[in-house]
Structure formats: structure tokens, C-alpha cells
Amino acid sequence: MAPKMDIQLTTDVLVLGGGPAGAWAAWKAASKGARVVLADKGFLGSSGATAPGGTTLLVIPPVAELREDAVQSRLKAGGYLSENAWIHRVLDEVETYLEKVGEWGYPFPKDHNGKPLRTHLHGPEYMKLMRRAVRQAGVRILDQSPALELLHDANGIGGARGVNRLTGQEWEVRSNAVVLATGGCAFLSNGLGCNVLTGEGLLMAAETGAELSGMEFSRQYAPSAAFGSVTRGRMLAWSTLYDQEGRVIGRGDRAFGSLQQHLLKGPVYASINLADTEEKRRFLRHAHPIFFMPLERAGIDPFRDKFPLTLRYEGTMRGTGGLRLTGNDCRTSVPGLYAAGDAASREKVTGAISGGGAYNASWAICSGNWAGEGAAEYALSQSGDACKRDLTPAGRYGLVQHSDADRLMDVPEIISAVQREVFPLSINFFRSEPVIRASLDRLHGLVPFLHDSVSDDHRHRVRAREAAGMVATARWMYSAALARKESRGLHAFAEYPQLDPRQTHRLVVSGVDRIHIRAEKVPHASELTPEEGMVL
Amino acid sequence: MIEVISESKCIACNQCVSVCPTNVFDRVADGIPVIARQSDCQTCFMCELYCPVDALYVAPESESVIGVTESELSEQGLMGGYREKVGWGKGRKPVASHEYMYQLSKRSGF
């Protein structure tokens, strides 16, 4: 039954995903002496949420009080689900890696004393540099090579299989450790760079028994021009918001009522007219070419004209949930499987709220390094190469070779059906128990279609697997949401508008056919006082 | 969405085929690449940035096809404009080396 592989490789560590987390993981594993292969669905350098835009970095000076303040305020804002020790680790270590980025040639601007200002990374520049660093470390890069399923045996993970989208070649990489850095799941919502984030990485891991955590914290939407893809909310700080009749409904960072609320009622328009001097306008234009270029191309003067806004759903990417980490080296609950970046749950550093750009960027760097090191140590401690193991493929949903049905899987319809459940603000943002329950029932109803057969066309196969990833992710999200009968961070229920101190725990989900949920204790739960609960 | 591959400018290096994160282009034997799956374009503008000869144009509209032509774009001076703004290409200074973002974070408290 085993299909013939066009490319068959054996290595120590296989990294899936070529965004920042995957790139750092591959670099670190190679630096520790492991043989490393990195496979990305697209191209290491252009793929993922970071590459087309950029990211602000979390920089807190190494002064004990400042760091402690930052950690404490994060703990509180995140509903006491984060872990101080993990935030400290990120703050302590990210500086070292940013220095490395500078050594590799990133042109950080300097202050008048010649000290580099490491506050922001321009996506295209950063990821071009990471590609070079990864290659120089000796990593073999497989571009345009989406993974379709993991390989495993009784001892754990042993590699992955996939296909090259350009050539149709089948590939198999056997490795004693795999780092999953496939990003979050943004459900093809057309946010900048995010349509590669479709959840099949999470599905692959879950098929081998990996657990996920924090999936209920997934109510994040980002503003963009209604016609465009660029999701950069910070420009709203200089904007006035208007309704259809031209009435002012928001100014600066503040929408009077929420933007979500206004968009339920009708169109919302923005004009960046709070940037009221030529100097400010010139400054913003230069700082954010990715934001202004599309508007200018559309013939809009964003500083004078009003342009329509929409909210694009950001799924688990700007949410918090992902694979549950069970150790400091970013191991998951499956031996040999490690997770980094947005594919991992970020609750340890962000708790119940969104990491936002800065925390998530630093998390991608640090978790990538930890996972890369952990995977390398694990793989190098194994007695033999993975090619000698009796491995079997673990994939079960949306894969032709495991389907005996004769009905062809209607992939576009399945994707639309998932989007109809997760995109609407009226379902996913303004959550209420009966609405989420009904939506989850409809999502469960899609599972049988994931056993329909898939055509031999390799692009169709990739799409089918992405559809399966989205169905699984949406079901985990809403299953977890229903188990959290309160409002905390990025999860809120109309029926339970308050934080409930008794629910200061994490929700761990697992399984695909049947979804299991359990609560997991967090170390700082006792620090949340009932009075504080009311305020949060 | 990606709208234009300039026949006159394209040197068939197929860099766009290699770097597109969503596999929109197809390589063509003895020819320049084609836009094979336009609706899969995620409007991330990366192909434009990686094109060494400014032969590509991505329209800002991410969910509809505009049908703009190369001659219209050339008249308006829009081909290659993004690469210039980002400061990629010979003799240009990358935007990454500017202080803009640092100043922005100082001013806005982000």
C-alpha cells in the first residue's frame, strides 16, 4: 500500500513550517549538530504571517523591576493563565537572538551613540535574512512542499510525508524528531500573508495523539480596508471612524462602542485625518509602505478620503490556542514532537489574551530556539536512524489513500461551510451558548465528508487536507468555548459576562472524531482574588 | 490580486513561481510564467518584491479581479513602485534601516 516516494530522506530533525519559528528552530537544531530538513508549504522567506508585513518587538530593558512589572501586568491581563517563569525566559533570551539578527546583517537603525534600535523587524528583510542563516547552518530546505501527514510508531513521531506543489513529487522525510511550526489557523480570511495558515499542522499532530490548549481564546479580528488584505490596526490610532451617514463614531484608538458592534449595524469608514501635518503624514507613509501602498494604488488619499473598513478573522493565529507544550523544550504530549510559534499554545506567555504582534514575534523566536534545541537533543539521543523504524502514516482526514468512498470530496464547499461558522461576528465574536452549540453541531456534521475521496491532483490533495485542518480547528475552538462558561480574555459569552475565579484553569482538547476536554491547573491561579475577578 | 506579468519586462527567471506562498504561478517551458490560479492569490505583494525587473503588478483589491493592463499601469508609473518604497534593488536603502518604526513606537507608545 505504501506509495512510491520520489524524494526519500533521512535526517535527525524535520521542521515543518518556514515562518520565523520554523526558521529559528531549524537554525538552532543545526547549530546543535543535528542534521535538519525544513519543509514549507510555500517559500522560506515569503511564507507566513510575518514575511509580508513586519513586527514590533517586545523590548523591556533588563532592569529587574521593569521586567517584573511587565510580567505582573501580563499575568493580570491574561486572566492568570500565563506563567511568570516563561515570560521571564522570553524577555531574557529574545535579546540574544536579536543581536544575532544584527550580526547576520539586519540593518537595524542606530541611535546617536551608535546603539542599534531593535524595536521592529521589517518582514521581507527579516525573513530573507533568516533564509540565508538557515541555509548557512546547513539545513536542507524543501520549498513549496506542504506536509500532508506525520509518520509514527509506538515510540512516537518519526517524520512526515508530503508533496511538492510545483512538481507533484511525493516526499518522505524520516526523522526521530519533528518540530511543528506550521502557524495558527486563519481560515483563508485573506489577512496579509495568512492564507497559508489553514490548521492542517494542528490536525496532523492531533492525529498522532497530541493535545491542544487555549483553543477557546479565538475571538480576534483585525481591521483592514474592506477591499484589501492589509490588516494593520495601529493606523486607527490616527484615524477618525465614520458610519454610513458620515457621523463620527470613533477617534484615535477609541471607537465609541466597539468596531465589531458598529460593523454589525452597517458599513464603517476610516480616514487617517488625525495625522494633521505634512510631517506626520510623510512619516507614517514611510514607516508603513505595506499599509499605504495598496490604498494609494486604489486611488485613495487615506489622509483625506474615507475608505470602508472590514474586520478579517484571525483565528488561532492572533488567538492564543495551539499544541499543548509539556516541557521547557517545547515538547508536546507525543514523544519526538515539538511545537513552536503560533502552532503552539501561547498561553504560557499571554494567558487568555492575544499575544499581539510583539509578544508573538518574541515567542516565535524563543519557542523556535527551544524547540529546535529540544528536538536536536532528543533525536541525537536515539540509538538509530528513523529509516530503520517501522513507521506508519498517521493521517486520516481528507486524504485519498485512506478513503474507500467513491464520492469526491467537495473541498470548496467544505471550506465555505467552515467559514460560514467562524467568520460572522454574530456567531464567533458576540458568542452566546446556544448559537455556538448550534454552530458546533453543524461543524461536527462536516466530519463525514472528510472521508470522501480526493482526486489524484496534488493541488487538490493539499487543499483537501487544508479543509480538514480547518474543520478540526473550528470544532476544537467551539468545543473549548462551550466548556468555558465565563468571560475571560479572548473568550466571552453573553450568558456569562464575568470572569469566574473557579475557572482559572486551562482547557486541554484532544481527538478528532470524538473531542475530549479536560481542565489543567495553572501555577498562578491562587493569585487571582475574587475582587480582581470582577474587574477582569 | 496579481493582475499583470509584463511580457516585455519578464526575463523568465521564475522567481515568482518559487516564492509565491500560495502557488499562483505556473512555469512554462520556453516562455514566461503564467498566472494559473489567480483566485488563490492572497495579495501579499511578495512576488512583486522578489521580481528583479519589476515585471509584476499586484492590485490592492484582494477579492475581485480588476482587469488592469500593463499600459495603463506604466502610464501611471505603478510598475515596481512597491519595491522602490521598500528600498529593495540596486542602489536603494532598505526601509528596515530607517528610524521610522522606532520613532513611531516612541510616539504612539506601541
C-alpha cell at A258: 466597539
- CA-nearest residue to B82 within chain A is A293
B86 to chain A, any CB pair closer than 8 A? The answer is: yes
Overall size of chain B counted in residues: 110
Q: How close does chain B come to A517, measured CA to CA in Å?
A: 34
Other CB atoms closer than 10 Å to residue A38's CB: what's the count? 31
Q: Is A185 helix (H, G, I), strand (E, B) or coil?
A: strand
Taking all residues of chain B, what is their mean pLDDT, rounded to a whole number?
91
B17–chain A Cβ distance below 8 A for any pair: yes
Which position has the higher pLDDT, A433 or A289? A433
Task: Name the DSSP letter for residue A104.
Answer: T
pLDDT tens digit sequence for A463-507: 999 999 999 999 999 999 999 999 999 999 999 999 999 999 999
Alpha-carbon span A513 to A212, nearest angstrom: 15
Return d(Cα A516, Cα A133) in angstroms, integer: 41
Which residue in A52, A117, A286 is closest to B102 by CB distance? Answer: A117
Q: Which long-range contacts (CB under 8 A, 24 or more apart) does B93-99 make?
A: B94/A107, B94/A122, B94/A125, B95/A122, B95/A125, B95/A286, B95/A289, B96/A106, B96/A107, B96/A108, B96/A121, B96/A122, B96/A125, B96/A126, B97/A107, B97/A108, B97/A109, B98/A109, B98/A286, B98/A287, B99/A109, B99/A117
Paired with A157 in beta bridges are: A152
Per-residue pLDDT of A356-386, as tens digits, reads 767 889 999 999 999 999 999 999 999 999 9
Task: Identify the three-state secondary structure at position A220.
Answer: coil
- pLDDT of A3: 63
**B14 near A CB under 8 A:** no
Ranges assigned E (strand) in A124-272: 140-142, 147-153, 156-163, 170-180, 212-213, 221-225, 240-243, 248-251, 254-255, 268-271
Instruction: Give yes or no for A41 touching B (CB within 8 A).
Output: yes
**Are A113 and A168 contacting, i.e. CB atoms less than 8 angstroms apart?**
no
Judged by CB atoms within 8 Å, which residues 45-74 of B form the interface with A? 45-46, 49-50, 59-64
Q: Which domains does chain B have, with CATH numbers?
A: 2-108 (3.30.70.20)
Q: B91 CB near a chain A CB, below 8 Å? A: no
- Strand pairing report for B2-5 and B34-35: unpaired
Determine whether the interchain pair B61/A227 forms a contact, defined as Cβ–Cβ distance below 8 Å. Answer: yes
With CB atoms and an 8 Å threshold, state whether A289 touches B62: no
DSSP H or E segment with residue A323: strand A322-323
Which of A59, A293, A419 is best to mutate for the B interface (most B CBs within 10 A)? A293
Could you report the per-residue pLDDT of A374-427, keeping only the tens digit for each? 999 999 999 999 999 999 999 999 997 555 667 889 999 999 999 999 999 999
pTM, two decimals, is 0.96
- Give chain A's mean pLDDT: 94
Largest CA distance in chain B: 53
Residue A360 to residue A367: CA distance in whole angstroms = 10
Chain A nearest CA to B13, separation (Å) = 15
Distance CA A346, CA A325 (A): 9
Q: To probe the interface with B, which of A111, A119, A121, A164 has the most B CB atoms within 10 Å?
A: A119
